[in-house]
Amino acid sequence: MLSGRHIVLGVTGGVAIHKAVDLTSKLVQSGTSVHVVMTHHATRMVTPFHFQTISRRPVVTDLFPEKPDWQPDHIALADQADLFAIVPATANIIAKIAHGIADDMLTTVAVAIGTRCPVLIAPAMNGHMYANAVVQENLSILRRRGFAVAEPEKGMLACGYEGTGRLQSVPRLLEQIAMLLTRQQDFKGKRFLVTAGPTREPLDPVRFISNRSSGKMGYALALAAAQRGADVILVSGPTSLESPYGVVRLDVQTAQEMHRAVLDEAKHADVVIMAAAVADYRPVEFQQHKIKKTEGNITLTLERNPDILQSLGQAHSNQIRVGFAAETENHLENARRKLENKQIHLIIMNDVSRKDAGFEADTNEVTILAHHRDPIQLPLLPKHQVAHRILDQVLELL
């Protein structure tokens, strides 16, 4: 998987730099060409000569070296990369790349590579720094652009604090590099339709019935499919999220609007994934003016919304359809019933009574159910990793 591939490894000045040395060694042992680019701060922690000996290639540190004859320039490095990884990535490098600053060799290579090949950023820093809103915002920018982030681990940090900020272990980094290299463009030429977010069913000009869906799960799926080469249309209910990079987004409000948009777009889709939390019922009447408070109770009458997935099952026989099951009890039994009734190929069950899974959380723990097969139970993972694992199952079906 790694043999014969070219990896540009950006190394910055973090105390976890020793893992970058080990990673280089493991990559070279598996037949990968590793081109190391170091920042000046990194060279103060480990010498370029050390990386040069291990990678068996010249290490690049300067944008304008005195003896340029043997050094590949930033464009040449970017052109030959099958993957670009930054290990460890400091808060500084994350901020620079998020904002397109190119003031040294490493950041210039990053801008030249853009999203032409998979990019893996492996942050490592003090827990307070990692939790800082500006670092998190910068990482969100990079994720939206399609960069993979090797989420740092929780544990004892070099600074003596306990927290989240520890660079992932070398075996885990190798797994992710291998995964990114194999996944590259495996959905090229396929058209995906993904739904995300809640729907809003209006009662009057200022009130509506809705649910807690943030859109994170659906957006992660749309981004993951686009990263893997698919043409993606995202039909989104109201969310506060920015559009994922490389995805066409159609905004809707109500279940009926989502129904129309999905039926229109599904005609051209090879894969439909419904992660949206669609309201099953809407108020029978929309009051033109704000409903006035009275002394007594009021009664709302609700009517059924169309079941979007079910109507697709009847209309398009040769596309892969994936639904989600948001459950709070009898999880697998209810999910399996939805798999059968909605005539879909996969259903992703999540327990929405949990705080760290389902609605709003950044993580999810799902069980993937298919016909005539044992369920696949995934561990608790960040939603973008869950998205890739779901897409791996879709790929098998395709």
Euclidean distance between CA atoms 277 and 196, whole angstroms: 7
**Known catalytic residues?**
159
Select from 215, 244, 246, 313 the one that contacts ligand PMT (CB under 6 A). Answer: 215
φ, ψ at 24 (rounded to 5°): -60, -45
Q: What residues pair up with 171 in beta bridges, in sequence order? A: none
Q: Is 391 in the site for ligand PMT (CB under 6 A)?
A: no
Select from 12, 32, 213, 227 the one that contacts ligand PMT (CB under 6 A). Answer: 213
Select from 119, 157, 179, 325 the one that contacts ligand PMT (CB under 6 A). Answer: 325
Alpha-helical regions (H) of the chain: 17-29, 40-45, 48-55, 74-80, 91-98, 105-113, 127-131, 133-144, 170-183, 216-227, 255-266, 308-315, 331-341, 383-397
Identify which range of 76-84, 106-114, 119-127, 323-331 contacts ligand PMT by CB under 6 A: 323-331
Q: Based on CB atoms, which residue is closest to ligand PMT, 89 or 278?
A: 278
Identify which range of 83-91, 202-210, 246-254, 276-284 contacts ligand PMT by CB under 6 A: 276-284
Select from 144, 183, 216, 282 the one that contacts ligand PMT (CB under 6 A). Answer: 216
Q: Is 37 in the site for ligand PMT (CB under 6 A)?
A: no
Using the structure block, give the residue that is written with the tokens 């290299």. Answer: 181
Number of Cβ within a 10 Å radius of residue 26: 18
Number of Cβ within a 10 Å radius of residue 69: 5
Identify which range of 85-93, 152-160, 201-209, 306-314 contacts ligand PMT by CB under 6 A: 306-314
Q: Is 324 in the site for ligand PMT (CB under 6 A)?
A: yes
Q: Is 255 in the site for ligand PMT (CB under 6 A)?
A: yes
CA torsion sign for 97, 98, 103, 108 is: positive
Q: Is 254 in the site for ligand PMT (CB under 6 A)?
A: no
Using the structure block, give the residue that is written with the tokens 């040449």. Answer: 76
Q: Based on CB atoms, which residue is closest to ligand PMT, 173 or 279?
A: 279
Compute CA distances 268 → 15, 189, 194, 258, whole Å. 50, 12, 13, 16
Binding mask 337-356 for ligand PMT (x = CB under 6 A): -x-----------x-x----
Compute CA distances 311 → 198, 247, 260, 271, 334, whole Å. 19, 25, 11, 15, 19
Number of Cβ within a 10 Å radius of residue 261: 19
Min CB(386)–ligand PMT separation in Å: 9
Identify whether 238 is preceded by a cis peptide bond (ω within 30 of 0): no
Task: Classify residue 156 by burial, with Cβ atoms within 10 Å: 0-12, 13-18, 19+.
Answer: exposed
Q: Based on CB atoms, which residue is closest to ligand PMT, 84 or 192?
A: 192
Min CB(397)–ligand PMT separation in Å: 16
Pairing of the two strands 281-283 and 162-166: unpaired
Q: Is 387 in the site for ligand PMT (CB under 6 A)?
A: no
Min CB(227)–ligand PMT separation in Å: 18
Min CB(305)–ligand PMT separation in Å: 5
Q: What residues pair up with 231 in beta bridges, in sequence order? A: 191
Q: Is 217 in the site for ligand PMT (CB under 6 A)?
A: yes
Q: Based on CB atoms, which residue is closest to ligand PMT, 32 or 195?
A: 195
Q: Is 192 in the site for ligand PMT (CB under 6 A)?
A: no
Number of residues that bind ligand PMT (CB under 6 A): 26
DSSP helix/strand/coil, 71:
coil
Q: Based on CB atoms, which residue is closest to ligand PMT, 87 or 278?
A: 278
Residues near ligand PMT (CB under 6 A) are 213-217, 255, 274-278, 280, 305, 307-309, 323-326, 338, 350, 352, 358-360
